[in-house]
Amino acid sequence: MDRSASASIPSSTAGAPLYSFPIPSFSLQGKNLSSLFTALVIIVSLLVLEQAVYRYKKKHLPGAKWTIPLIGKFADSMSPSLEGYIKQWNSGDLSAVSVFNIFIVMASSNEYARKILNSPTYAEPCLVHSMKQILRADNWVFLAGKAHVDYRRGLNALFTRKALGIYIDIQESICRKHLSRWLATTEKTPAPIPIMMIARHLNMETSLGVFCGPYIPEEAANEINTKYWDITLSLELVNFPLALPGTKVYKAIQARKVAMYWLEQAAHKSKIAMAEGGEPACMLDEWVTTLKDPNYKGRREFSDLEMAMVIFSFLFASQDAMSSGLIYGFQHLADHPEVYSKVKEEQDRVRQGNFSKPLTLEMLDQMTYLQAAVKESMRVMPPVLMVPYKATRAFPITDNYNVPAGSMIIPSFYNSLHDPEVYPDPKSFLPERWLDPEGSANANPKNYLVFGAGPHRCIGLEYAQTNICLVLATAIAMMDWEHDVTPKSKLVEIIATVFPKDGCRLFLKRRAD
């Protein structure tokens, strides 16, 4: 029987039919089936190719044998946990994951972390996938090679001991203002207060005060502080890539525009003030003055926009990491009364009972136990767990494995900072380990990756350490505190960096003596 696709009525029965009914077009259905089959073949082929490419890139590295089609480990990246990261790091010195077809190599050992940080020929910092949209692609932090080295060399003068001495009065005055507010709040309503957001506000105003001095009005500092949280929330490892209205990346870009507006104004005002013979009172002033020094060797002209981008990059580097360091500094001291007592005794000795006397760098130099406690706090709970890099070419990280070009490669710092051979009893908070110059902690500086390593090592590490010490020293001079321990106190929240899950709630009271 001829089962033709036309389904016409035989001629022997031709004539006017008594009734009619729609006859399905088997020819059209066949075309649809063919198109559907072709589409399915293409989809299946792409999925198979995706798995094959993943397996080819992964090779022998630990990690899932197969990746979830299209999204990979996206669900895990949406709710990251420290425990999850530790499990990944412990699976091997190098391990692999894929998120939205972005192939990622995780490096957990000190050897490989340092190799990545010190290999600008093969890898460059990319932070997160959307970072160039947020910071601007023309920001100096994205420079590489000699261009980056030369630019950075010109900024080193902003963090000399002389410069830090200029900043310290600004830091202390802003710190005392905010701590007084904390005490006023708790005295009005005696209850534990969560310090995560108020510590971030303190840190933001301090940074803006140090960087921009009197050229940033308080209302601008408040606006930048409020908007900056959108930047923090956008710093997920993988985000929706398009900056469409309502997305985290879009909100972060709008927040950056607000900050950049005020920072450009500050740069312009600083240039005018220094041209009129003013004395340097902040980082911008110090920068403008340095550029006029006849002995200065380097680029001498920077537009207001360029200076604003540099200051914004410092703000970006300091805000989340330093806020985390501050919060854990408060919590670690509260959780270890014996350490708290020693820090308090040291403050009494150095200040000689005068708790209103302005701090100096020389006074902070004498607070060796406080410095050890801060250093240990950042080791136990590093403000930055890892810094994503991008392989700019095939990276021969081992003798038998090349990280594919275009892949993300992420050195983690946690395992280096918790190496039991360098830091015996690594989970314990023991400031004393830093007081012995011959001890294993001081003898292995390569393990202390809190501020990274290599050409992109944190340029403001002395400023960051000084500021955390100053805030804690000032807090002990003004008040006592206890940690309101909750079931979530030992949990952490990973956003741009690591914060206590419940924001660290403290009981505060004004120091009696």
Q: Which residues are annotated as a binding site?
A: 458
Q: Binding site for heme: which residues?
A: 458
Q: Give the number of other CB atoms < 10 A from CB of residue 223.
A: 16
CB of 327 closer than 8 Å to CB of 335: no
CA distance 235 to 493: 13
**Cα 346 off chain centre by:** 32
| Structure-block tokens of residue 238 | 């993988």
CA distance 104 to 114: 17
CB of 502 closer than 8 Å to CB of 194: yes
User: Measured between alpha carbons, how far is residue 296 from residues 273, 275, 376 in Å?
Assistant: 20, 17, 37
Helix (H) or strand (E) holding 409: strand 408-411
| Ranges assigned E (strand) in 29-130 | 94-99, 102-107, 123-125
Q: Give the number of other CB atoms < 10 A from CB of residue 139.
A: 17
DSSP string, 410-441: EEBSHHHHT-TTTSSSTTS--GGGGT-TTSHH
* Three-state SS at 511: coil
CA distance 91 to 88: 5
* Max Cα distance, the chain (Å): 120
Q: Which amino acid is at 309?
A: M
| Structure-block tokens of residue 374 | 């801060």
CA distance 397 to 391: 11
DSSP state, residue 166: H
CB of 133 closer than 8 Å to CB of 249: yes
In DSSP terms, which residues pair with 506 in a beta bridge? 193, 483
| Structure-block tokens of residue 315 | 């703000």
Helix (H) or strand (E) holding 78: helix 74-78
